[in-house]
């Protein structure tokens, strides 16, 4: 193995062991309001909390209604008039609606980028009574 390759591998290993969080530091969804397991009422604000600071220009979310009471086979409907932005704390995405959401089931599709610059995606489902 050439000397340069040995030095580069040694340096990479040293950094990986000295700073293990850098190698696997992806933002993770750690909390959400409304919660997934508890139907809510009067929802006009949805908050997704992540494990680390987000890059605002590369992070966001959309809201889709996936079901409506009394309507079997309701097609998914992207909700208009819902704004999504990274919160002032830098670790949340806040979705706001001018009016409370109608009763039904919902899915938030989110995408975030943290310090490691990797785009991470996920979903959060909840219900409104």
**DSSP class of residue 45?**
E
CATH topology of domain 30-128: Immunoglobulin-like (2.60.40)
Q: Where are the domains of the chain?
A: 30-128
Q: Which residue has the tokens 């932005």?
A: 85
Q: Say how far apart CA 129 and CA 34 lie, in whole Å.
A: 12
* Residue 76 confidence (pLDDT) above 60: yes
Distance CA 33, CA 39 (A): 11
Would the pLDDT of 93 be above 90? yes
CB atoms < 10 A from the CB of 105, how many? 16
Q: What is the pLDDT of residue 83?
A: 98
Both tokens of residue 119? Answer: 């785009």
Q: Is the pLDDT of residue 18 over 60?
A: no
pLDDT at 24: 56
Against a cut of 0.85, is the pTM above it?
A: no
Q: What's 43's DSSP letter?
A: -
């Amino acid at each position: 193995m050439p000397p340069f390759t040995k030095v580069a591998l040694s340096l990479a290993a040293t950094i990986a062991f000295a700073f293990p969080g850098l190698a696997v530091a992806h933002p993770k969804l750690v909390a959400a309001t409304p919660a997934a397991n508890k139907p809510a009422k009067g929802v006009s604000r949805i908050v997704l909390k992540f494990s680390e600071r987000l890059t605002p220009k590369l992070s966001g979310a959309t809201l889709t209604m996936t079901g409506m009471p009394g309507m079997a086979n309701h097609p998914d409907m992207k909700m208009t008039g819902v704004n999504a932005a990274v919160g002032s704390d830098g670790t949340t995405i806040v979705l706001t609606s001018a009016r409370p959401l109608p009763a039904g089931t919902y899915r938030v599709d989110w995408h975030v980028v943290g310090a490691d610059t990797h785009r991470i995606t996920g979903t959060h489902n909840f219900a409104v009574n």
